[in-house]
Amino acid sequence: MDLLEVRSVSKTYGSGETAVHALKKVSFSVPKGEFVAVIGESGSGKSTLLNMLGALDTPSFGKVLIDGRDIFAMKEKELTIFRRRNIGFIFQAFNLIPELTVEQNIIFPVLLDYQKPNRKYLEELLAVLNLTERRHHLPSQLSGGQQQRVAIGRALITRPSLILADEPTGNLDSQNSSEVIAMLKEASRKYEQTIIMITHNSGIAQTADRILEVSDGVLADFGGRGCWE
């Protein structure tokens, strides 16, 4: 079964003459464990698409199903909890909480769920992300790459089935970028997670299992890596 199913999602901002059609009848589905890259020019509608997938924004038409559940049919509170447990976000600007340490930043979503963090899993994550040494550091004491790895850790700690990443390497140099992507892939493979990642970097897109391109709100599926090559 597909983990993610997008059914003719459209999004229009404004109305009448000033209406902007950000997404036009976008449909696709992603099976569990796939690593999908979304590419497209600035303003093409990639971020809007990602916001829909993460239930941050509501579509004008259409449905998004995650694990078979229509996320826009859920009530606000239900959706919050669903998002908390099933979707992990990684931002371009890291968005770490500056006053919390690496470890605290990572476990924060678990605390929001009133759970106790699983120590063993945390240690494992820290090790995978190569942050064990820096666990008590503040974000300001880390490099960009390290900060993004913390953000990845935070996205992984709840073991979400879907990870949405909006240009996670946008603020990183090439070495850090490939490092972060490698970590992301390794982690997702290990924990069987689906990743949808927006990127401008075609090199990074190449490493994905599948590439989707958004152009003027219309989605084109380039299929698996094989198709491109």
Partner 1 sequence: MKNSSKNSLKSYLGIVPISARVHKRQSRMTRICIILAVFLVTALFSMADMWIEAQKTEMIRRHGDYHIKMQNVPEDKMEELCRRSDIDVAAKVCEIMSQAEKDSSADLDYSIKDRRIILYGVEETYLKEVRKYPMEGTFPQNDSEILLSSDAKELFGIDTGDSVTVDTPAGEFDYAVSGFCEDDSEFNQIVEGCCAYMDMETFGQISGDNSEDSSLEYYIRFQEDANLRQAIADVREEYGLSDENMEENKGVLGLSGASSSETAKNIYPLAAVAFVLILISGVLMISSCINSNVAQRTKFFGMLRCIGASREQIMRIVRMEALNWCKTAIPVGCILGVVSCWTACAVLRFLVRGEFVDMPLFGVSVIGIASGILVGIVTVFIAAHAPAKQAAKVSPVAAVSGNAGSMENVRHAADTRFFRVETTLGIHHAISAKKNLFLITGSFALSIILLLIFSAGLDIVRNLLPATSNFAPDVAILSQDNTNSIDRELLREISDLPGVEHAFGTRMEIAAPAEINGDAGSVDLMSYDEFMLDESKRSIASGNLSKVYGDSKYALCVFQEGGRLDVGDKVEIAGEELEIACVLSFGIGGVSGDIPSVICSEETYERLTGERDYCMINTIFSDHVAEETVDAVRNLAGSHLFTDRREEDSEVISSYWVFRVAAYAFLAIIAFITVLNIMNSISMSVSARIRQYGAMRAVGMENAQVTRMITAEAVTYAVCGSIAGLICGLLFHYIIYKKLLITHFGGTWKVPVTPIGLILLLVFVSCVAAVYAPAKRMRDMEITETINEL
Binding residues for partner 1 (CB under 8 A): 47, 50-51, 54, 56-57, 76-77, 80-81, 83-85, 88-89, 91, 93, 95, 97-101, 104, 107-109, 111-114, 136-138, 154-155, 158, 166
User: For residue 188, is it left (φ>0), alpha (ψ between -120 and 50) or beta?
Assistant: alpha
Helix (H) or strand (E) holding 81: helix 76-86
State the DSSP string of 130-199: T-GGGTT--GGGS-HHHHHHHHHHHHHTT--SEEEEESTTTTS-HHHHHHHHHHHHHHHHHHT-EEEEE-
Q: Write down the least CB distance from residue 184 to partner 1, Å.
A: 17
Q: Which residue has the tokens 């509608």?
A: 45
Classify strands 162-166 and 61-66 as parallel, antiparallel or unpaired: unpaired
Q: Given the complex with partner 1, which of 95 and 178 has the nearer CB atom?
A: 95
Q: Cβ closer to partner 1: 172 or 209?
A: 172
C-alpha of 193 from chain center: 11
Contacts of 83 (CB under 8 A, 6+ apart): 54, 55
How many angstroms separate the CA atoms of 74 and 217, rounded? 25
Closer to partner 1 by Cβ: residue 3 or 49: 49
Q: Choose between 4 and 102: whose C-beta lies nearer to partner 1.
A: 102
Q: How far is the CB of 182 from partner 1 (least distance, A)?
A: 23
CA dist 82 and 78 (Å) reads 6
Residue with smaller CB distance to partner 1, 149 or 209: 149
**Least distance CB 57 / partner 1 (angstroms):** 6
In the bound state with partner 1, the residue whose beta carbon lies nearer, of 5 and 57, is: 57
Q: Please enumerate in sequence order all residues whose Cβ is within 8 A of that of 96, keeping only pairs 6 or more positions apart, or say none.
A: 105, 139, 147, 150, 151, 154
Q: Give me the least distance between CB of 226 and partner 1, in Å please.
A: 31
CB of 137 to partner 1, least distance (A): 7
The least CB distance from residue 223 to partner 1, in Å, is 27
